[in-house]
Amino acid sequence: MTTTPTVRKLSYSRAINEALAEELARDERVFIMGQDVGAFGGAFGVTRGLHARFGGERVIDTPISEMFLVGGGVGAAITGLRPVVEMQYADFLWNAGDEIVGKMSKWRYMHGGLFTVPMVLRLPEGAAGGAGPEHSTCPEAALLAAAGSYIVIPSTPYDAKGLLKSAIRDDNPVAYFEHKGMYGLKGEVPEEEYTIPLGQADLKRVGDDVSIITWGRMVHRALEAAETAAADGISVEVLDLRCLRPLDVAAIVATVEKTGRVIISHEAGKTGGGGGEIAAIIAEECITSLEAPVRRICGIETPVPQSTHLEQYVVPTAEDLGAAITDIARY
């Protein structure tokens, strides 16, 4: 007799909190460190309650020093612990550039595999609430050049929990980008134990005419645009990559070969964004399957405004994606 898994609706932030709590309880080597992650519960409340439950030796408040945060995480990881390091904003990864690129990402290789670097760097990203130019970007593509680190970007509470648990258990360093604008987003999450393999994309919607390849918050705008397009008789497939490294190239090729018309969308600006790499892979692997040029629908290439009114014009909308769907379907 099989039992039906118990499913609840949790917020994106609560799903992350639950993953952290479960991994802290499961493995005594896991600990959390970051600015205000302790009694305060984190800048966005994601670690709320963990300090009271696990104590100050497992949930550690740190000074305001990103170099120390990442460097301390690397040091702990190579000596056998499994740190989860929280930066208050993903934008601050530049403040710890040498530790992320030169140490976290490279040291396992540079030391011939003598040790692993099993750490997670949590990076709240994205435009949300008028946080301004230094607190609102989506810089995940910057780490594509940092070979050695994984890049994980969940779009739902279910994915947020399952991918984080896998990231904590992995022996490679993982940059885990969580969108601040989705912390309140609710979705179904099983009570039972589960993990999601890193590097496995998810087909969020099946379609035949146009493919949207995306990740993070743009997944939801892509789904909204796909629903609107369906009313006009255009069948849109939405592929959520979930990880930029490991990258599910097979899933990208499969959707391109199926529809022949591709839109790549992300919140970061077009130039230097992950979409350029995806487009290059499509050109190398399956260009003969294309029925139209690849389109990129991305953020406006400008610093994110402080104004909440102006901020909304920087990020691509479902309407932007809808116009691109109509255009590419006619090509």
Count of Cβ atoms closer than 10 Å to residue 55 Cβ: 12
Q: Are strands 202-205 and 236-240 parallel, antiparallel or unpaired?
A: antiparallel
**Rounded alpha-carbon distances, angstroms, from residue 5 to 56, 161, 189, 219, 259:** 34, 16, 10, 26, 34
- Which of 135, 179, 220, 266 is an active site residue? 135
Contact (Cβ atoms closer than 8 angstroms) between residue 46 and residue 39: no
87 vs 101: CA distance, rounded Å:
15
Under DSSP, the state recorded for 115 is: S
Name the phi and psi angles at 184, rounded to 5.
-90, -5
Name the phi and psi angles at 128, rounded to 5.
-165, 115
Count of Cβ atoms closer than 10 Å to residue 113 Cβ: 9
331 vs 310: CA distance, rounded Å:
32
Under DSSP, the state recorded for 102 is: I
Q: Which of 153, 110, 160 is nearest to 266 (CA)?
A: 153
Q: Three-state DSSP class for 237?
A: strand
Residue entry with tokens 């991994």: 23
220 is catalytic: no
User: What is the separation of C-alpha 152 from the centre of its chain, rounded to a whole number of angstroms?
Assistant: 4
Please identify every residue annotated as catalytic.
135
